[in-house]
Amino acid sequence: MPLDVTWGDSEKTYTVFKFSGKWTWDEYHAAIEKGTQMTEGIPYNVNILLDLSECNLFPNNMLSHFGTSMQRPPREFDLAVIVTTSGFVQTFATIVDKVYGKKGTRFKVVKTVDEAHAMLNAVNQRV
């Protein structure tokens, strides 16, 4: 499956969206819906790990689809950690962080999945 959603930890403090190979916007929106269903009824913010480490391409209209997601996120979150080595994605995340960081939502980019898990676990230790 090119886009899978799972829990990042047993405490259910963050979800992992793993993008693999070529995926479509329909699969992206289905994953968002699955993430929404997974987090229903949880009384606290659930952070996000976006693993793009095995994803090389994005479908057309990336900005409009991600922009729509940010205008109507499936639930509140404090931190989204993006795993990528793409300079384009890093630049995009920096722009998004500047826009949404003012609202209390942060976006950070790391190069490995282990770094992402460590960052999210460290944030959850402080809560």
* Total domains in the fold of the chain: 1
- Name which residue leads in pLDDT, 3 or 75: 3
| pTM, full prediction | 0.82
CATH number at residue 25: 3.30.750.24
Look at residue 95 and tell me whether its pLDDT is greater than 60: yes
What local confidence, expressed as pLDDT, does residue 74 receive?
A: 54
Look at residue 4 and tell me whether its pLDDT is greater than 70: yes
Per the structure block, which two tokens stand in for 75?
């639930």
Q: How far is CA 57 from CA 3, 7, 18, 22, 62, in A?
A: 13, 24, 14, 6, 10
What local confidence, expressed as pLDDT, does residue 124 receive?
A: 74
Residues 45-76 have pLDDT tens digits of 899 999 999 886 666 666 555 655 655 555 57
Domain around 50 = 3-126
